Each structure stands twice: as structure tokens, then as C-alpha cells.
């Protein structure tokens, strides 16, 4: 069986050169691209123009910090046991960004890029990704703001309109993941990269949580509190 | 025993508001801060000014993409078995950012902020973090460029000078992690946050690797190739 | 909204007692149950009898060591960067035990416990979990041995027969994951626990790989070898 | 530079054979070794005799289930977001088994195998691994039982005596990790493998927690409870 060759086009280096996706890292990238631009460049091979940069950075920034989430708690509880390995605590926090939370963004992007109409999508799907929020209703202020930035940068197009039409038809709020899924389509991003935007953004936020945890810890208190609650129905003797 | 209270100041939300570190996320942050600025804001509670933004983004961008690394390989090999859970593949890739690779950045920041002189540091440490590179010598072009940006933004100060003095004295190249450790000190960042800059930046790069892996896979070939090499000394019968 | 109470029945302790699933750990479990029995007890709340013990342990032992796998490679490559955090290297190795490898075991258990006939299953599924192997054919010697142990212990029943009937009908080998899925059904295990048997067994094997890696390392060589292969198509200048 | 060869002696397979550490897996291992024996075999290359088997299994079984721990909570919180990837939830739970919890076992084994006397060890170490427990005092019933099994199997030797002498001298309880560290020395295990015993055992327990979580969930309640506590000091408006 002929095997696929081992090949990567992301980067290479020699004694005096470091090249990322065809650009000289020190001379062409450092000091020029911000972290969001670099993420866009990694994912698409293209340096974003000013408007793409503004929109993409806004999408990623939206996902950085959500306060106390299961993901932040998993990271903090992991850090309690292994403070010498904060990378492992970030890893633990990222591991839960699956189908329930960040996955809906990917689902929205896939759905909106399928070429189907709002009616078809509604008919075919019981649960539509990117709609609904337990707290933010009738408007998710992040989605509203992201669509606004999309308009300002000229990226409010058919995918955004489709997402909003579906929300209207279902009388449900378009949430942040729905908006980001739509914007990813407008920017021409591969839907397979969309979950990744959430993962990289949350890595930023988790580092923030671990820094706070190292100064103002909560994990040990959570542990003892939950342990007591979880076993209070047991007569211990 | 009185327990520490459970308390976080990173973010909170109500029906119509989402606040991160005291700022309204949709109105004050989205469309204004780029992803690197947001990271700086998460770590320090302060919005970076233009110069801080340029320098901090350059530091983070340096660490995004290093081509084929052990970390990228771990992520790709994980993705091969669980393509439905790309967050777990990123997590696997981050888990190896420990003492050997990214840790040196933290070590450099800690060392440079200790208040000791170059002589004292050299006398006390057999192995000095932030010095040496297997490939980039006598100059690591990333370090050179980062110090240049530090000068351009007015942040080349005593910590940068100390790092370069140590390198000169030891006749070893100051590598990218040494430069970033020094710059983190100049920006007043907590050394405990420094490893985190590497972790968040690499999360960006790992998403890039997984997107490439999904289109142009190498993990399966690596597996079969290494398996054959690893067992070729065994007479299998 | 009334929330679900926080409650666990797995274990609790007082100053002088440690109880796991209702049994006194030091007095009733230690020295009596082996590690596989303890796993069975954790999953079912019942101490296995001698026959259950023999069969369950055989199932778990089957999954411990598969030589050089993507999972073992991910663990070794992670260990290279963070040798101080071997738990994180095991975690990285486990992260890839998803739909492609270990997941088929879960799929087989779910399928076999669905109450459907071989014909129905074949008609409804294009790809049947637990069938086929790239190397072990026409017989997977692990599956053969596991079914033999099932017969010896009186656990070869309708689920085993169904799995073998499906294999025969499709003219494909029943692999180890197919046999284990069937045996899990015979033992009355929840299909949701079946992937877990693979995960715990592989954790054992990964510790073995990391111990070997600490004595006879391969990760660094793999890294440099793959890096060279992956970038050889690039004219570096 | 000559590179180390890629080589592993753990396992290999051909069309009809699967060999682990020199033994035929289906014929010589399955149905014969239990899961703890297999772990011992993985780590040492030797099949344990009956006494070694009893002792090693007791050591591993001790570490499987500790009720609600930070590690179990991290796993459950991860599972909440990615129920489709339970391996990632186990990985998250393992990631925190670092210096604070499981690491003390490794430290105890290293200390006891150093050849030093109780006096020297006490003089040189401010904090001695394997001593003290927040709850189980003046006796950790697990340690007592493990030393008892060591006596029953003829493995209570100088390392156990040394550990107990240190505890007596310091007037502190020898905890389970101290006993296991000592027993690992008596069995001749490499101290680098000792943390691994905890990691593999806990993987078993974490699968138990995730199965309970899938039936009787607590993660969502914990999330909302902690979020409310953590932000109650903020005037949200």
C-alpha cells in the first residue's frame, strides 16, 4: 500500500531563517501581525486586510472569557494538584470544549454553508445550532455587536442574513456561537476550523483563570464544599 | 477551619450585559481589542496602549508556529484517533509544553526579575534559561527582532540588557524564550503568567496543524513508519 | 429551576474509615480484589465472582499493550517536553482513544444490546463496529481466545453468537473490539462503560511506554526525522 | 550527530501473533494474568508470583477511588461539555495528578531508595513525602492494611521499616502514599514508575465517576452554584 507522504507547509527554519507559511517570521510577521491576524494567517495562509482583521479578532475575542464555566473550573481544579504544570491545566480546561458548548459554532457554520434555505434547515433539524441562550434573551448582546461589526466591515452577507432569518422564524435568539458561525462563513473559513477559533480563544481565557487561581484560589474550597454536599445523604459510621 | 471564599473578578453577566474585568464586552471590547490585546487585558486587567500592544502581540506571535514539533506531532496523532474531538487533540499538544520547551521562558523571566546581577546569575546557575539553540546560532533571528521591537516601542530596559549581558558573558545565543522572558519583565508581567503566553500562542498554532492534518494527513504514515522501525530488531515468528 | 442535587455514592471517609461503594476499603477490598475486580466493582457495584473476574480481567488485559500506536507516540512525544509531568503524558495518550480506535468497542456493545437480529444489523449499517482488521485476518487471535475464555467461564451467550454470526455473514474477521463489546453485553455492563474499559487498560500500557521512553527514548529521534521528511519538498533559502 | 535508534521492546504483532514483552498475548497472558499482574508485567517485564501479585494489586487498588476529589471533579466538568469524548474527560482528570497529590508517592519511593538513614532524611528534608493526612490520623487505615499485607506476603522489609521509623520520629502518620512508596521499593520497582501506578489506578476510578455522572449528574449544578458564589460580591448592573 502506497502511503501518504509526510508533508507540512506550515513552517521551516534554517540557521538564520524562520519561515511560517511562506513569510519570514522575524522580518515580515513580528511587529506587523497581531495574535488574531496570526491565527487568521495560520488558518487561511492569507494575511487579513484591515477589515478582515477587525472582524476576525472580534470573533475570537468574544470567546476568550465567559467567567466561571465548567472549562475554567476543570482547569482550576487540575492546577490545584499540579501547579508545576500549568499547561496541563489549560489542556484539561480545553478538553471539555466539545459538542455541548463550542461545538454549536461548528454546527452553525456547517449548516449555513450547506446551501440550504431557512425553511429547509428548519424542516430538517429539530435542534438548530447557534440558536437559544439560557440567559441572554431576547437578544444576545455579543451576537448583536458582532453583526454590527460585520456591517461596519462590509461582511454582513447572506450567511448572516440566513442565520438571522432562521432565528426570526423560530422566534429564538441568535446566540454568539450562531453569529460566529455565520461570520466564519462570510470570511470563507473552513467549517472544520471554526471549533478551533473557540479552542484557541479559550486557551487565552484559561491562562487568565489560572493566574487568578494562583493569587486568589477557589479550587480547594470547591472540592471540600462539593465533597460534603455529595456525601451528606450517607450515614457515615 | 475558615475556608477561602470562592471569588472571581474575571467576568459576569446578566440578561443583557456581559462584563469582562470591569469592561462591557460587546460595547467596549469587541471591535476594539485584538486577540493579543485581550490576552494582555486578561493577564493584567489593563488595556495595553499602542506600544504595549505591538510588543506583547509580537511576543505571542513568535510562539504560534514552529513547524513540526513534538507538540504538533502529539496533536496530530491524537486527532487520528479522535477526529470528532479536535479540542482534545489541541489539549494533547499543549500537555508537553513543560520544563523542556516553553518552561525556559518562565525560568528566564523569574531569573531576570530576581534583582541579581549577571555575575551572580552565572555563578549560581549551571544551566541558564533562555540561552542556547540547537540550530539558530550565533543569532536567533526572533530574539534579535524582538529586542528591536522593544527598542522601537521604548521597552528595551534593564531586563533586556541583563539577558543580553548574560548571553555575551557565556558566549551563547539569547534565544526567543530568553528574549520573551526579558520582555515580559519589561512589561511588568507576573512571571507566573509567562508560560501561559506560550501555551495560548501554541494553541493557535496547533489549530493550524490540525486543519492541515485534516486535509493533508501525516499521522497514520508516521505511526506505521515508527512502528516498523521500532520493532525491526525483533525476529517475529 | 430546581437543580439536581449534588450526590455521589462511590466513596466517603471519616477519620478512621474509608468506604468505597459500601465496602470498607482496607478491610474488605485491599488484599482481596485485584485491579480488574476493582474496576468491575467500580462500574457495577458488585464484586465479581471467580468466573466474572477471569473474563473481565481478560477483556481489560487485552487492551493494555498494542506496541507502537498513535496513542503511545502522543504520550512519548508529550513526555519529551514535560518529563516532570508524566500524568500529562498519559493524559495526552488517552485523548486519542476516540471514534477511530477504541470507540468501535462501544459501538459493538451498543449494537449487540439493541435487540436486533444479524440481518437487521447488516441491513441498517454500512460499517459494522467490531469487524475487520488491517493485519489480523482471517482470525484475530485475541477475539478467538476471548470467546474461548467466555466458553470456559459460561459466558458465551447470545451476544457472542450474534457478533460471530454477523462476522460470518459479512465474511469479515471479528476483531478484539467486537469480542470485547460482545462480552461486555454478556456481563451485563452498561455500553456507556465499555469505552472506559479501553481507556483504563490503555492507561496501564501508557505508563509502560513512558517508563521505556525514560530509559530508551525515541521521541526526539521521531521529531527530527519527521521534521526533515515533512519539509524536504521545500527549497529552504 | 548520531541519533538514538527508534526501538521498543514492549510488543509486536504479525498476521497471527500478538506478543507483549516476549509473551504470546492470547495464549500466555489472557485468562492468566489479571489487570494488576499485567501492569506489573508491563513495568518490570516479569510475571509476578502469587505474593507479588497480591501486594502489587493491593497497592494499585488503594489508589482507584477516593470519592469526590479535584481530579474526579475535573473529569465530570469536562464530560459535561464533551460527553461524546469520555476519554478526554479521563485525561482531564488525570492531568492534575501532579506534585500535590500523587507525586508524594514518587517522592517517598525516591527518598526511601536513597540509602540514607531516618536521621539523615529528617535532617535534610523540611517536608517529608508520605507523612501526614488532613483527616486520617493518628493512623491511615490504608497504610496500616498495606503494611499488614506486606507482612503476610513476606515483603515487609527495610524500606517499610524506614518509612515507619521516620513517621514515628516525626510523630506523624504514615499515609497511603508513604506506604505505597515503601512497598514499591520492596518490590524493586523503579521510582520513576511509582507515580504511574497512581495514574493507572485513578484512570480506573475516573471511569467509575464518569459512569455515575452519566446517570446521576452533578457537574451542571456545581457550575451554576460556583458561578453564583464567585460573583456574588459584584454589583451587577
DSSP string, A132-151: --SSS-S--HHHHHHHHHHH
Mutate: best of D199, D209, D224, partner C, most C CBs <10 A: D199
Give me the mean pLDDT over the C52-73 stretch: 97
pLDDT (tens digit, 9 = 90+) per residue, C33-42? 999 999 999 9
**Predicted local confidence at residue B199, as pLDDT:** 97
- For residue D11, the SS3 value is strand
- For residue C8, the SS3 value is coil
Residues of chain B found within 8 Å of residue C89, distances taken between Cβ atoms: 95-96
Q: Which three cell numbers stand for residue D139?
A: 493512623
Rounded CA gap, C191 and C196, in Å? 9
| Number of cross-chain residue pairs from A and C with Cβ atoms under 8 Å apart | 58
**Predicted local confidence at residue A70, as pLDDT:** 98
Rounded CA gap, C158 and D185, in Å? 47
Residues of chain C found within 8 Å of residue B68, distances taken between Cβ atoms: 223, 226-227, 230-231
Rounded CA gap, A82 and B200, in Å? 18
pLDDT (tens digit, 9 = 90+) per residue, C158-170? 999 999 999 999 9
CB C127 within 8 A of CB C99: no
Nearest CA in chain A to B191: A211
Residues of chain A found within 8 Å of residue C237, distances taken between Cβ atoms: 14, 17
Q: Which of A70, A78, A84 has the CB atom closest to D81's CB atom?
A: A70
Give me the mean pLDDT over the C80-89 stretch: 96
Does the distance separating the beta carbons of B88 and C78 come in below 8 Å? Answer: no
Rounded CA gap, A72 and A90, in Å? 9
**Predicted local confidence at residue B121, as pLDDT:** 95
- Beta-carbon contacts of residue D54 (< 8 Å; ≥ 6 apart): C31, D149, D152, D153
Q: What is the mean pLDDT of chain B?
A: 95
Q: Is residue B171 less than 8 Å (CB to CB) from chain D?
A: no
Q: How far is CA A209 from the centre of its chain?
A: 16
Q: Is residue A135 less than 8 Å (CB to CB) from chain B?
A: yes
**Predicted local confidence at residue C198, as pLDDT:** 96
Mutate: best of A88, A93, A97, partner C, most C CBs <10 A: A88
Does the distance separating the beta carbons of B145 and A66 come in below 8 Å? Answer: no
Rounded CA gap, C33 and C45, in Å? 13
Min CA distance, A83 vs chain D (Å)?
A: 8
Residues of chain A found within 8 Å of residue B98, distances taken between Cβ atoms: 85, 87
**Predicted local confidence at residue A235, as pLDDT:** 87
Rounded CA gap, A18 and B139, in Å? 12
Residues of chain D found within 8 Å of residue A74, distances taken between Cβ atoms: 73-74, 77-78, 92
Does the distance separating the beta carbons of D231 and A68 come in below 8 Å? Answer: yes
CB C160 within 8 A of CB C148: no
The number of CA neighbours under 13 Å toward the Cβ of A232 is 9
**Predicted local confidence at residue A2, as pLDDT:** 61
Name beta bridge partners: D211: none
**Predicted local confidence at residue D123, as pLDDT:** 95
Those of residues 41-100 in B touching chain C at CB distance below 8 A are 67-71, 73-74, 77-85, 88-89, 91-93, 95-100
pLDDT (tens digit, 9 = 90+) per residue, C166-224? 999 999 999 999 999 999 999 999 988 999 999 999 999 999 999 999 999 999 999 99
Q: Which three cell numbers stand for residue D90?
A: 479521563
In the predicted structure, residue D68 carries a pLDDT above the cut 90: yes
Give the CA distances from residue A86 to residues B37, B103, B193, in Å, rounded to whole numbers and listed in that order. 21, 10, 10
Name beta bridge partners: D18: D13
Of B5, B179, D233, D87, residue with least CA distance to C101:
D87
Min CA distance, B35 vs chain D (Å)?
A: 24
**Predicted local confidence at residue C192, as pLDDT:** 87
Min CA distance, C206 vs chain B (Å)?
A: 14
Q: Is residue C207 less than 8 Å (CB to CB) from chain D?
A: yes
Neighbouring chains of A at 3+ CB pairs within 8 Å?
Answer: B, C, D
Q: What is the mean pLDDT of chain C?
A: 95
In the predicted structure, residue D168 carries a pLDDT above the cut 90: yes
Report residue A54: phi and psi, to 5°: -65, -45
Q: Is residue D6 less than 8 Å (CB to CB) from chain B?
A: yes
Q: Which three cell numbers stand for residue B212?
A: 492541515
Give me the mean pLDDT over the C128-153 stretch: 94
Tell me which residue has cell 496547533.
B206
Angle at D56 between CA D53 and CA D60, to 5 degrees: 130
Q: Residue B218: which pLDDT band, with cuts at 50, 70 and 90?
A: very high
**Predicted local confidence at residue D134, as pLDDT:** 84
Q: Which three cell numbers stand for residue B199?
A: 501555551
Q: Is residue A134 less than 8 Å (CB to CB) from chain B?
A: no
pLDDT (tens digit, 9 = 90+) per residue, D135-144? 888 999 999 9
The H-assigned helical ranges of A11-138 are 35-44, 50-62, 70-81, 86-94, 103-112, 118-124
Nearest CA in chain A to B150: A31
pTM of the model: 0.97
**Predicted local confidence at residue B103, as pLDDT:** 83
Nearest CA in chain B to C213: B230
pLDDT (tens digit, 9 = 90+) per residue, B5-43? 999 999 999 988 999 999 999 999 999 999 999 999 999
Q: Which of C10, C53, C102 has the CB atom closest to D65's CB atom?
A: C10
Residues of chain D found within 8 Å of residue A77, distances taken between Cβ atoms: 70-71, 73-74, 77, 96
Of D155, D193, D151, residue with least CA distance to D45:
D193
Does the distance separating the beta carbons of A91 and D98 come in below 8 Å? Answer: no
Q: Which three cell numbers stand for residue C10?
A: 462511590
The set of long-range contacts for D36-41, using a CB threshold of 8 Å and a minimum separation of 24, is: D36/C34, D36/C35, D36/C36, D36/D60, D36/D61, D37/C34, D38/C60, D38/C61, D38/C64, D38/C65, D38/C204, D39/C35, D39/C64, D39/C204, D39/C207, D39/C208, D39/D197, D39/D200
Min CA distance, A194 vs chain C (Å)?
A: 20
Nearest CA in chain D to B94: D95
**Predicted local confidence at residue D53, as pLDDT:** 98
**Predicted local confidence at residue A192, as pLDDT:** 87
Longest dimension (CA), chain D: 70
Q: Which of A88, A100, A219 has the CB atom closest to D82's CB atom?
A: A100
- Beta-carbon contacts of residue B163 (< 8 Å; ≥ 6 apart): B108, B112, B130, B174, B178, B179, B181, B182
**Predicted local confidence at residue D103, as pLDDT:** 83
Does the distance separating the beta carbons of C17 and A233 come in below 8 Å? Answer: no
Percent of the residues in chain C that have a pLDDT greater than 90, as a whole number:
90
- For residue C213, the SS3 value is helix
Neighbouring chains of D at 3+ CB pairs within 8 Å?
Answer: A, B, C
Does the distance separating the beta carbons of B16 and A221 come in below 8 Å? Answer: no
Rounded CA gap, C167 and C76, in Å? 35
In the predicted structure, residue D235 carries a pLDDT above the cut 90: no
Specify the higher pLDDT residue, D182 or A16: D182
Handedness of CA B203, B205, B206, B208 (dihedral sign): positive
Tell me which residue has cell 466513596.
C11
Rounded CA gap, D51 and D54, in Å? 5
Min CA distance, B136 vs chain D (Å)?
A: 16
Q: Is residue B208 less than 8 Å (CB to CB) from chain C?
A: no
The number of CA neighbours under 13 Å toward the Cβ of D84 is 15
Q: Residue C4: which pLDDT band, with cuts at 50, 70 and 90?
A: confident
Does the distance separating the beta carbons of A96 and D80 come in below 8 Å? Answer: yes
The number of CA neighbours under 13 Å toward the Cβ of A2 is 1
Does the distance separating the beta carbons of A78 and D77 come in below 8 Å? Answer: no
Q: Is residue C6 less than 8 Å (CB to CB) from chain D?
A: yes
Chunked into runs of 10 residues, chain A (237 residues) has average pLDDT values of 84 93 97 98 97 98 96 98 96 96 90 95 93 90 98 98 97 96 97 94 98 97 96 89
Amino acid at each position: 500500500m502506497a502511503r501518504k507522504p509526510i508533508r507540512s507547509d506550515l513552517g521551516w527554519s534554517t540557521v538564520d531563517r524562520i519561515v511560517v507559511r511562506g513569510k519570514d517570521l522575524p522580518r515580515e510577521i513580528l511587529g506587523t501581525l497581531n495574535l488574531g491576524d496570526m491565527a487568521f494567517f495560520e488558518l487561511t495562509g492569507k494575511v487579513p486586510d484591515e477589515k478582515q482583521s477587525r472582524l476576525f479578532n472580534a470573533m475570537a475575542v468574544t470567546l476568550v472569557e465567559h467567567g466561571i464555566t465548567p472549562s475554567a473550573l476543570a482547569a482550576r481544579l487540575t492546577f490545584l494538584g499540579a501547579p508545576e504544570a500549568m499547561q496541563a491545566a489549560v489542556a484539561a480546561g480545553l478538553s471539555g470544549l466539545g459538542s455541548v458548548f463550542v461545538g454549536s459554532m461548528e454546527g452553525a457554520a456547517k449548516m449555513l454553508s450547506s446551501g440550504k434555505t431557512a425553511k429547509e434547515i428548519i424542516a430538517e433539524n429539530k435542534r438548530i445550532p447557534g440558536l437559544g441562550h439560557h440567559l441572554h434573551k431576547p437578544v444576545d448582546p455579543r451576537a448583536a455587536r458582532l453583526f454590527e461589526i460585520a456591517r461596519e466591515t462590509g461582511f454582513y452577507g447572506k450567511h448572516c442574513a440566513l442565520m438571522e432569518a432562521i432565528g426570526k422564524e423560530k422566534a429564538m435568539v441568535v446566540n454568539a456561537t450562531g453569529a460566529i458561525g455565520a461570520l466564519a462563513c462570510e470570511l470563507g473559513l473552513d467549517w472544520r476550523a471554526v471549533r478551533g477559533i473557540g479552542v484557541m480563544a479559550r486557551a487565552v481565557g484559561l491562562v487568565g483563570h489560572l493566574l487568578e487561581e494562583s493569587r486568589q484560589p477557589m479550587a480547594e474550597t470547591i472540592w471540600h464544599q462539593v465533597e460534603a454536599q455529595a456525601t451528606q445523604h450517607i450515614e457515615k459510621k
